[in-house]
């Protein structure tokens, strides 16, 4: 039995963790999180599956946990893509509006004209055979040469031009991620760039003035730039929080799990925020020995790597020639945004306002640092509810038969 509510589920497959969100629409632009599930992920490198079996198990575990929390069975899920070899391109297309001299309304631009000019833009965009277009984003419409038209529907005109921004990713990346999901007997409803989904939590004023969203994940840092109310550039740099964890592992000769704990509990990327006498305990492999270490020394390991990540972001801004467009500053989200001192480091580098990108306007979610890791998954659910508001196939109760089938799938793997 379907719920009859606008309910959607979203899946964010990260380098270290798979996260699933089930959410419902409660108002026009407001959602409520019904359930969430997470599982440690293995077999993924920079957003590309390298070992499909553990990925399937992680996706299954995260979906099951979210289902149990929400009391809703997931049949369709919206998949996020991040850390892939993202590419941007722009193109222009035009459409002649057929006019009947006997009917003044014949030159009225309608939604069918919009669809035709966008289809023409996508058809004219040439991408390499190993890539696929993920998003086709209108930048600006021109009606009879008049620029700056945001929505031409309802205007009279003989010619409709459209400037379109395309985001493409490798075909194999998308298909392999979809296969992981489908092997759990769940359908993939749509595929969305996670940084675009996280942009749901940027304000309209920020998008208009110009804002850079940084999603600092484990294996990559994704960036997307909005200005004049539209997406102007998107990219991904191949470095994130996992590189910092690896540096700590080598510097302090401790296992990766302990290095991750140290980074989360004591990590800082701005030496000005640390007192010289701050120390912490490190546990070594086997758990038979521990040692006191200086937080200042830890910062000396972390800060250069974070500065390198910001250097790569700066290079992307220079390549795109859009550094000057950031009137509203920078918004940082993702698990890496929790690192102490990152906001100060970014402010000093760019001399711009910098804030944390919490999921805003979401019921059941507090503005807590731990929620930064969930921003992409919640953003995917928000994006899905905006674009596909009615849920089909979401069931209101988890049946015993469903759990038996899931157990069978685990055994089959």
Q: What is the pLDDT of residue 402?
A: 43
pLDDT band at 150 (very low <50, low <70, confident <90, very high): confident
| Cα–Cα dist 77/31, whole Å | 16
Global pTM reads: 0.87
| Cα–Cα dist 34/65, whole Å | 12
Q: What is the pLDDT of residue 405?
A: 43
Give the relative orientation of helices 256-266 and 295-320 as an angle to the nearest 10 degrees.
90
pLDDT band at 366 (very low <50, low <70, confident <90, very high): confident
> In this structure, is residue 374 part of a structural domain?
no
> In this structure, is residue 95 part of a structural domain?
yes
Q: Sheet harboring 362-363: ordered strands across?
A: 187-193, 76-81, 7-13, 17-27, 30-40, 362-363
Residue from 8, 32, 21 nearest 63 by CA: 21
> In this structure, is residue 45 part of a structural domain?
no
| Cα–Cα dist 186/9, whole Å | 11
> In this structure, is residue 112 part of a structural domain?
yes
Q: Which residue has the higher pLDDT, 148 or 300?
A: 300
Q: Which residue has the higher pLDDT, 49 or 274?
A: 274
For the cut 60, the answer to whether the pLDDT of residue 33 exceeds it is yes
- The residues, any chain, with a CB within 8 Å of residue 26's CB and separated by 6 or more, are 32, 363
3-state SS class at 78: strand
Q: Which residue has the higher pLDDT, 389 or 200?
A: 200
| Cα–Cα dist 20/44, whole Å | 17
> In this structure, is residue 138 part of a structural domain?
yes
| Cα–Cα dist 93/149, whole Å | 15
| Overall average pLDDT of the 86-106 stretch | 78
Q: Within 13 Å of residue 101, how many CA atoms lie on the same side as its CB? A: 0
Rg of the chain over CA atoms, in angstroms?
23
pLDDT digits (tens, 9 = 90+) for 337-349: 999 999 999 999 9
137: containing domain: 87-171
| Cα–Cα dist 396/259, whole Å | 41
Please give the share of the chain, as a percent, with pLDDT higher than 70. Answer: 88
Per DSSP, what are the bridge partners of residue 333? 215
Residue from 344, 144, 329 nearest 225 by CA: 329
**Of the segments 14-18, 72-76, 99-103, 407-411, which one has the largest average pLDDT value?**
72-76
How many domains does the chain fold into? 1
Give the relative orientation of helices 241-252 and 256-266 as an angle to the nearest 10 degrees.
110
For the cut 80, the answer to whether the pLDDT of residue 72 exceeds it is yes
Q: What is the pLDDT of residue 196?
A: 94
> In this structure, is residue 204 part of a structural domain?
no
For the cut 60, the answer to whether the pLDDT of residue 406 exceeds it is no
- The residues, any chain, with a CB within 8 Å of residue 284's CB and separated by 6 or more, are 253, 254, 258, 290, 291
Q: For the domain that residue 159 is a member of, what is the CATH number?
A: 3.30.1490.110
Q: What is the pLDDT of residue 392?
A: 36
> In this structure, is residue 300 part of a structural domain?
no
Mean pLDDT score across all residues of the chain: 86
| Cα–Cα dist 191/193, whole Å | 7
| Cα–Cα dist 340/275, whole Å | 14
Q: What is the pLDDT of residue 286?
A: 62
DSSP 48: E
Of the listed ranges 18-32, 341-355, 358-372, the least confidently predicted one is 358-372
| Overall average pLDDT of the 172-197 stretch | 91
| Overall average pLDDT of the 125-150 stretch | 87
Q: What is the pLDDT of residue 403?
A: 41
Q: Which two tokens stand for residue 348?
A: 């000093």
| Cα–Cα dist 15/307, whole Å | 21
Residue 308 region, left (φ>0) first, then alpha (ψ -120 to 50), else beta? alpha
Q: What is the pLDDT of residue 397?
A: 39
Residue 284, Cβ density class (10 Å: 0-12 exposed, 13-18 middle, ≥19 buried): middle
At 315, give phi and psi (nearest 5°).
-65, -40
Using the structure block, give the residue that is written with the tokens 């200005």: 227
How many C-beta atoms surround the C-beta of residue 100 within 10 A? 9
Q: What is the pLDDT of residue 89?
A: 86
pLDDT band at 288 (very low <50, low <70, confident <90, very high): low
- Do 79 and 178 touch, CB atoms closer than 8 A? yes
> In this structure, is residue 156 part of a structural domain?
yes
């Amino acid at each position: 039995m379907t719920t009859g509510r606008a309910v959607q589920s979203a899946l964010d497959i990260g380098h270290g963790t798979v996260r699933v969100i089930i959410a419902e629409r409660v108002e026009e632009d407001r959602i409520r999180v019904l359930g969430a599930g997470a599982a440690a992920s293995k077999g993924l490198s920079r957003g590309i599956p390298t070992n499909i079996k553990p990925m399937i198990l992680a996706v299954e575990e995260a979906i099951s946990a979210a289902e149990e929390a929400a009391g809703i069975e997931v049949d369709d899920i919206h998949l996020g893509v991040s850390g892939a070899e993202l590419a941007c391109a722009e193109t222009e297309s035009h459409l002649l509006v057929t006019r009947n001299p006997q009917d003044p309304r014949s030159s009225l631009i309608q939604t069918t004209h919009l669809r035709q000019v966008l289809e023409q833009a996508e058809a004219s965009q040439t991408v390499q055979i190993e890539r696929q277009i993920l998003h086709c984003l209108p930048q600006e419409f021109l009606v009879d040469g008049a620029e700056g038209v945001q929505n031409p529907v309802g205007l009279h005109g003989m010619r409709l031009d459209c400037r379109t921004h395309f985001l493409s990713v490798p075909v194999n990346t998308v298909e392999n991620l979809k296969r992981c999901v489908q092997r759990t007997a769940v359908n993939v409803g749509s595929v969305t760039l996670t940084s675009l989904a996280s942009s749901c939590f940027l304000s309209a004023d920020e998008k208009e003035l110009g804002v850079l969203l940084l999603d600092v994940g484990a294996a990559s840092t994704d960036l997307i730039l909005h200005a004049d109310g539209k997406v102007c550039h998107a990219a991904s740099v191949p470095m994130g929080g996992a590189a910092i964890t690896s540096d700590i592992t080598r510097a302090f000769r401790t296992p990766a799990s302990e290095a991750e704990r140290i980074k989360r509990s004591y990590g800082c990327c701005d030496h000005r925020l640390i007192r010289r006498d701050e120390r912490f305990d490190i546990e070594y492999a086997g758990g038979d020995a521990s040692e006191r270490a200086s937080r200042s020394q830890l910062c000396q390991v972390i800060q250069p790597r974070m500065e390198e990540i910001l250097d790569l972001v700066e290079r992307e801004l220079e390549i795109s020639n859009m550094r000057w467009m950031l009137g509203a500053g920078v918004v940082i989200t993702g698990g890496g945004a929790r690192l102490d001192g990152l906001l100060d480091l970014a402010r000093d580098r760019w001399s711009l306002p910098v804030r944390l990108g919490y999921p805003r306007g979401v019921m059941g979610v507090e503005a807590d640092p731990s929620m930064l890791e969930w921003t992409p998954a919640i953003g995917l659910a928000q994006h899905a509810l905006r674009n596909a508001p009615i849920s089909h196939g979401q069931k209101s109760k988890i049946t015993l038969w469903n759990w038996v089938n899931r157990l069978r799938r685990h055994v089959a793997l």
